[in-house]
Amino acid sequence: MPNGYSGKMLRVDLNRRSVSVDEHDEAFYRRYLGGWNVVGHYLLNELQAGADPLGPENVLVFAPGVITGAPYSGSGRNSVGAKSPLTGGFGTAEAGGYWGPELKHAGWDGIVVTGRSETPVWISIYDDRVEFHDATPFMGQETKHTHEAIKEAMGGGPVRTCMIGVGGEKLVKFSAVANDVSHFAGRTGLGAVMGSKNLKAIGTRASGKMPVADPAKIKDLAKFMVANALDLAYNLRTYGTGATMTAHVQTGNLPTRNFRDGNFLTAEQISAQAVKATIRLKMESCFACAVRCKKVVADGAYDLDPAYGGPEYEGIAAFGSNTGCDHLHLVAKANELCQRYGLDVISAGCTIAFAFECFEAGLLSKADCDGMELTWGNAAVLPELTRKIAFREGIGDLLAEGSLGAARRIGRGAERFAIQVKGLEVPMHEPRFKHGLGLGYAVSATGADHNHNMQDPGYDQPGRKFDTVKVLGITEPVPVADLSQRKVELYRKVSDWEVTKNSMVLCNFIPWDYVQMTECVQAATGWDIDVEEMTQVGERGLALARAFNVREGFRPQDDDLPERFYQPATRGPLTQGLDRQKLAEARANYYRLMGWDEHSGAPLPERLAELQVPFAAVAAR
């Protein structure tokens, strides 16, 4: 009996409404760990090049990892992946909560969904019993209602759900997949893929537990984080995300008015401290987590339902500073509507900021915007715009295409206001401040993504954060505003590991160091895996994703940033844009380090062979 995994992936064929089992051996799990890598494996092996992301041929993968369900902090996550309808490339995102562990406890290492149901369907999983049900009554419902209805239909108790909202049903290009109502795999539009398959939800209930190799070690790891979370993760545990926004303003790191203006002087009004002082009810956690960083908010005047948790930094900044809005309640309401309707808060907020700038430039009129004035700081329109996007009503139908898709429809130069990479809107971290992060946005297979990227300030001087990367062979700090070879080497190691984390699948907010993360895998599986082998797992994942994108037609020129980031902000600390030549050199250096062809960006066959994924060379040829 294996530990950390069952060896079984559930296959769901929606064309036939049938299920089967894919069995995998230990080598598969040790090579991939799960999550991102399993997504990459299935997309490369089963999806034809050029497939329609919203066609029945797309392959939708739900993938926990080998640690998911082991009871220590950060192990409550799972990946979701498919070809992205937003970017046309490798799509993956991760969500926390409890659904991933429940799936593992039910005996499944993941789910691979193919085909399309003719009518809306939801799936129940009780251990190895898998059944299809009519989802017609749930269509158009808010996520909370769907969650509660499925719980009731499955007999109540500890039923966990994974689902889409109205946004996914309406094929909003940046719709999300929700775990247990308040945890989201937000990025790259995977909710639309689920919607295109007419798959509304997956309810899961387990009777057993995932077996682990070393329960005593797992207990030690769990105890360590319980004892140290308040010290090592003080900020997240006390406030959740969004508590350093005043410092972001000082550095220029807070995206302001569609990344144009550089600082936002009323940021404190929408910060996590303001949330705590006004609308926060309590903090909650994901599965087995001691950090407990999830806000729960309520406000009767704005109908903020605590069932949907609360706003994270990304949502606060995307709907707040990035649209020039400092009205906390309306920003929180727009964020909450994303959760009711299943939208990615980053892409939603940024696409609305894009629309604001188009309005200012005269590219969208008041009539185009259904009578609304999309002026900077007009927070009153945020909830209605969000609702219209989810239901594809009026101006919402245009914005549901994402900023790049909408810009192409608007024409007249609107693309210059679409702040995105490969179609994915830029998250709330400034590449003109953090240059390594900027390189990461450019070269990421999913587009502008911070979930497998590097945050430079942790590594520019000795200290607690820098000390963690010494085990990866990084001996000297590197300045934040730097794109030298040393920065590229640092970025390469850190981003390899970010993908390792997204494969095992581990939360980024738990202050485990790299040795402890390795111990997490050792304790779950019993393997003698070391830090170096763990690093290579991440590199493997990056190679798979890169090979997939090359097969889909992406080229090095797609690994670039929006023009805005090569210019200074109009005001504030960002007085210089990124150096275009230096970024191009950093990209070429990164390709060399990764063993990717300098002209095509494709992983070289010999490197793929070393990474034990030679099959990916076919895709990258």
Q: Which residues make up the interface to other proteins (CB under 8 A)?
A: 230-231, 233-236, 238, 240-244, 246-248, 250-251, 253, 273, 293, 312-313, 429, 450, 455, 457-458, 460-465, 467, 508-509, 573
What are the structure tokens assigned to 109, written together?
Answer: 């290492």
| Dihedral sign from CA coordinates of 441, 33, 595, 600 | negative
β-sheet bridge partners, residue 420: 425
Residues 106, 6: contact at Cβ < 8 Å?
A: no
CB of 607 to other proteins, least distance (A): 29
Give SS3 for 190. helix
CB of 273 to other proteins, least distance (A): 6
Residues 146, 131: contact at Cβ < 8 Å?
A: no
User: Which CB sits closer to other proteins, 247 or 609?
Assistant: 247
User: Which CB sits closer to other proteins, 278 or 461?
Assistant: 461
The torsion angle over the Cα atoms of residues 331, 335, 340 and 343, rounded to 10 degrees, is: 140
CB of 391 to other proteins, least distance (A): 30
User: Which CB sits closer to other proteins, 88 or 511?
Assistant: 511
What are the structure tokens assigned to 60, written together?
Answer: 């939708």
413 CB-side CA count, 13 A = 6
User: Which CB sits closer to other proteins, 117 or 446?
Assistant: 446
User: Which CB sits closer to other proteins, 449 or 560?
Assistant: 449
CA distances from 123 to 77, 221, 265, 381 (A): 20, 35, 48, 37
User: Which CB sits closer to other proteins, 291 or 578?
Assistant: 291
CB of 163 to other proteins, least distance (A): 25
Cα–Cα distance, 23 to 274 (Å, whole number): 50
For residue 150, give every residue at least 6 positions away whose Cβ sits within 8 Å of its Cβ, in sequence order, or none. Answer: 122, 124, 138, 159, 161, 163, 201, 203
Cα–Cα distance, 342 to 442 (Å, whole number): 27
CB of 236 to other proteins, least distance (A): 7
CB of 601 to other proteins, least distance (A): 26
Closest CA to 508 of 468, 561, 480, 474: 468
User: Which CB sits closer to other proteins, 359 or 441?
Assistant: 441
CB of 427 to other proteins, least distance (A): 9
β-sheet bridge partners, residue 80: 62, 93
What are the structure tokens assigned to 293, written together?
Answer: 């960083």
Residue type, 24: H
Closest CA to 538 of 505, 586, 580, 563: 505
Cα–Cα distance, 369 to 358 (Å, whole number): 11
CB of 408 to other proteins, least distance (A): 31
User: Which CB sits closer to other proteins, 79 or 244?
Assistant: 244
CB of 97 to other proteins, least distance (A): 17
What is the H or E stretch that residue 186 is in? Answer: none
User: Which CB sits closer to other proteins, 243 or 407?
Assistant: 243
